[in-house]
Amino acid sequence: MRPEYYADLYRRYQSYVRNLSGNRIFKIACGPNGADYVWTEVLMREGATRMPWNEALMREVTPYMDGLSLHYYTVPGTWNAKGAATGFDESAWFTTLSKCLRMDELIRRHSTIMDRYDPDKRVAFIVDEWGTWYDVEPGTNPAFLYQQNTLRDALVAGLTLNIFNTHCERVQMANIAQTVNVLQALIFTDGPSMITTPTYHVFDMYQAHQGALLLPCSLESDLYTLNNQQIPQLSASASSTSDGKVLLTLCNTDPHRGAEVRCELRGVQVSEVTGTVLTADEMVAHNTFQDPERVKPAPFKEIQLNGDKVATVLPPMSVCALTIQVRS
């Protein structure tokens, strides 16, 4: 559909999605696929042909929606040859993380359009499909989209969740595709058996961000370079939790170099820091039903405290969560 046609259909059918029995419907309009900024513009814009004396008719869809969705998948190859979930080389590792980081640009540019027509940020940006998408595992039904989940996927999850948390004022919901046995799954099942994936562990490590207060985080990072291309070596996001602690989540994208981290928490004193790290000896490491704990979190204790400063060195290709106890 053209966005103009979809906007008219949405306006028609949302009229019959009504609040009944004290329930309030949260209406989400179908938004852009990736970088389709025209779609967002049309759904949010002022309608030039609307009657100026009727403010409710002056916008395409904005008054009638609570959220606008976004689809974006991290595909290292092409749609016809997406790439293998395992057995990949460093070039595929780099390409995957580079494409994953594009989520930040997409959110910023779509949000800029939304801010123009919705400066109060009433309409939520809903990233309702995200995650890695590779070729299916050999011997499986192509329609089931079953793929393995490696340390690379853990980095994609950590980088993406850091981006979502940083943009939480506009991004109010996000849904990985999908949770069980399909695409970037958190859980694999086989009859009565179940195992968790590296992505699952990242979600577990990031839990305390949910419902917490975003803290501004200024980051200076070295670069990870491969084949004359570069991405930041470090990603970070921080939140103040309801019990007075700070959760700082960090990713080191470089599979070869540790990342030195020096963090200053201004205006407070640090009394204690505990940490959890997820990494492995190979970028292709993954869990199987025969070896379900090859990639799992471990305590991270290589942390130094000095007043309001925290210092550490992240292992190569790792996701780390630091819980910082502070006092004013």
Read off the CATH number of the domain in which 133 is found.
3.20.20.80
Are the beta carbons of 239 and 246 closer than 8 angstroms? yes
Q: Pick the residue with more confidence: 306 or 303?
A: 303
Q: Are residues 32 and 181 in the same domain?
A: yes
Taking only the tens place, the pLDDT of each residue in 58-111 is 567 888 999 999 999 999 999 999 999 999 999 999 999 999 999 999 999 999
**CA neighbor of 321 nearest in space, from 273, 250, 252, 259:** 250
C-beta atoms surrounding 82 within 10 Å: 18
In order of 1, 6, 30, 64, 172, the CA distances from 39 in angstroms are 10, 10, 9, 16, 20
pLDDT score for 59: 62
Taking only the tens place, the pLDDT of each residue in 204-225 is 999 999 999 999 999 999 999 9
Give the structural domain span for 75: 3-209
Q: Are residues 160 and 301 in the same domain?
A: no
- Pairing type for strands 229-232 and 223-226 reads antiparallel
Close Cβ partners of 191 (under 8 Å, ≥ 6 residues apart) = none
Q: Are residues 101 and 15 in the same domain?
A: yes
Residue where one domain finishes, among candidates 152, 181, 209: 209
Q: Are residues 171 and 269 in the same domain?
A: no
Q: Are residues 249 and 199 in the same domain?
A: no
Q: How confident is the model at residue 117 (pLDDT cuts 50, 70, 90)?
A: very high
Structural domains counted in the chain:
2
Q: Say yes or no to pLDDT of 305 above 50.
A: yes
CB burial of 217-226 (b: ≥16 within 10 Å; e: otherwise) equals eeeeeeebeb
- Alpha-carbon distance of 284 to 152, in angstroms, equals 7
**CA neighbor of 207 nearest in space, from 121, 129, 276:** 276
Q: Are residues 68 and 102 in the same domain?
A: yes
Read off the CATH number of the domain in which 304 is found.
2.60.40.1180
Q: Are residues 138 and 189 in the same domain?
A: yes
pTM attached to this predicted model: 0.93
pLDDT score for 270: 87
